Chain A
Amino acid sequence: MTIGGIIVNRGRTSQGRPADDHHGWHPTSAHTTAIAVGTLLLAISILAARPDIALVGIPGLLAATWATTTRPTTPLTTTLHEPPGPTAPGELAATLRLTTAGTPGTTPTADIAHLRITAPGHRDTHLALATTRKPGAGEAGVREVALRLSSVRTGPQETFSVDVRGSRHGLWEEEPTEVGGARRLVLPGAAPLGRLPLPRRLRGLTGPHSSRRLGDGSELRDIHPFTPGDRLRRIDWRTTARRSPELDTLYVRRTYSSAEATAVLVVDSRDDVGPDLRTWRGYGTLRVDEPTSLDLARHAAASVAQALVETGDRVGLEDLARRRRPLPPASGRRHLRRVVHGLALAHPKDRAADHRVRPPQVPADAVVYLFTTVLDDEPLHLVRTWRAKGHPVVVVDTLPDLHPVIEHHLWIAWRIARLEREDRLAALAGEGVPVVRWAGSERDQAAVRFEALARAAERNAPGPSTSAPRAAAP
């Protein structure tokens, strides 16, 4: 920290002397100018024998005199308070606390604070504030200022950097100080979804769904003669009395066992593209008030994960760009938080796809939700591999709605890329892979589309028709 031109570290100058009373206050050029103007006008008035000319410079001289007699001695202390832990999109906020050691009315200290607030993707904000508020409006000598970013982006985000300079009477100024916010993690939000496509075969002995296997459940399968191993409490006495009045054969009610579905969310985080094609070249600034493809993928995946966990199903997470252990499928609120946290940390990595020699391993009988922009052939290969192994796949298209481009070469490049992408989507549709779009106005239709897919799968799926969410993806 530099105070009055002296480098001060931990309260001491470079010579080791204490710098307690070095608060960096120095008179401004306005102070010097006021004295110079007053002196000059006084000289002119003497030369011209006109005292009224000197009067023009008197207010400035008086103000400079007043400022000299009230030299500030205490610094303006600034701290930035941010709520701990991760946050949600649109809620990146902090509180700037301006503390004056004394009361500006009695102890000479800063009466105005000049702020320059910078944040990535935002305009610089210049603001001049009074360091004290009205009496009774809060703690004496303390001014709290609420700050909020307009970012809708998710994942790790840089926050505020505030340069503060105190001034007194406009004639004394303090050396500027800088306070900065920490890098914060913005977790993706989740939109409510209805029923979702589920795998054809369900796993486990407990869960919210009825499987096609016999077992302990609530769904009636059939009435069957008693066999060794059947529980006595399952004997249906009414049926037995009707079918075997002599009680030579007992009948039991057999039910389908309950089961749970397993879903794996695969996030294609190898690229992160925004609606502005000019930023696709690797340079240019992505706007923070528009979601990118990765933001949409995080949002869609969090929504699907929440819908599945709420119905008691198991959800796992795979990140295509990172070579780390995937989150194995599990259920419960705590696991949902882990999934959302993992989604927030997904980000592109250079040539990450080159390291993957084969598609991510997926548990048996799991449905795969692939969140991708389909801008290259890799998703197509992944889908075909999973389907060849018998996994139903649902592709969620997370390419944002693009802005029109003016540059001719970009327009041509995008036409070619778009045609290739449409070919891939058409190939997926031809192979019976459902593609749900999750961008712009079509995001609102995504829940309806998922519901339609779930119903279509339910009609085609063998086994019991259940009221619980159960469907098979095509």
Chain B
Amino acid sequence: MAVEERDPVSGYLTTGHEWNGIKELNTPVPRVVYFFLWATFLYSVVYWILMPAWPLGVTYTKGLLGSDQRNIVAVQLKDATAERARWSKLIETESFEAIQADKRLMTIVRQTGATLFGDNCAACHGRTAEGGSGFPTLVSQAFLWGGTPDAIAETIRVGINSPHKDTRTSQMPAFGRDGMLKREQIDDVVDYVRSLSNPAVGKAIAPAKLASGKAVFTDNCVACHGENATGNIELGAPNLRDNFSIYGGDAQSVFTTVWGGRQGHMPSWDSRLSALDRKILALYLVNLRAAGP
């Protein structure tokens, strides 16, 4: 059966086998195949000699170059840090005012801060730092813990109600759930509080109700939110007169706040971000606020 024949197209002999009509030519393997086989093998051999490659029971060949991906990246990181030292030393050591006055440094702060903020903070505070429900805006004048670069840097370092040992701690008590105030009292104080930042609300409410709300406020809230309800940065109690609110200024949200209390949680970045990164972020935020509305 193994009758070889010559293929008229290529001129090569067949192997003489046939399967269901399929035949095979006995064409020699083109030289180029062997060439590349050897070339890639040679490349591999060289690579094996230079690099960690072959296992030997309880160890492996380390390669002539002594290359190790972990050392390489460690060196790269060190070099990168050294390379950045031309400006990072200044940011680390100079005062906030001095840095803010330095256009060149502030350009770097904006560049670097934007990515740091995007990767770490934007999830809560939004990409534009304008906040969202439950997470405060960082571009307003309304700061819970103070808006100076120092205060912001400290907030970032220790967090708010975080597990960090120096954390800033704050809590809005649950006046309703814990039975400190009655339902009507809460309704009244909610109206009153809303009228503080929104005169239109004040007009729509009966003066008697407003007065009662004010009384409740004086008895229960000024301790934290202050005589004028402008907040207290010692306690992290927000200003209730401005147009910013963390949890929303509508009646339902304010009611929920007073009824159930609040305790926002801002993580500490002490062990996650370097002091330099945190300082850049504080400067970045101050800068953003200055540029913002």
A and B from one complex: no
**Which residues of A are at the interface with B, using a C-beta cutoff of 8 A?**
none
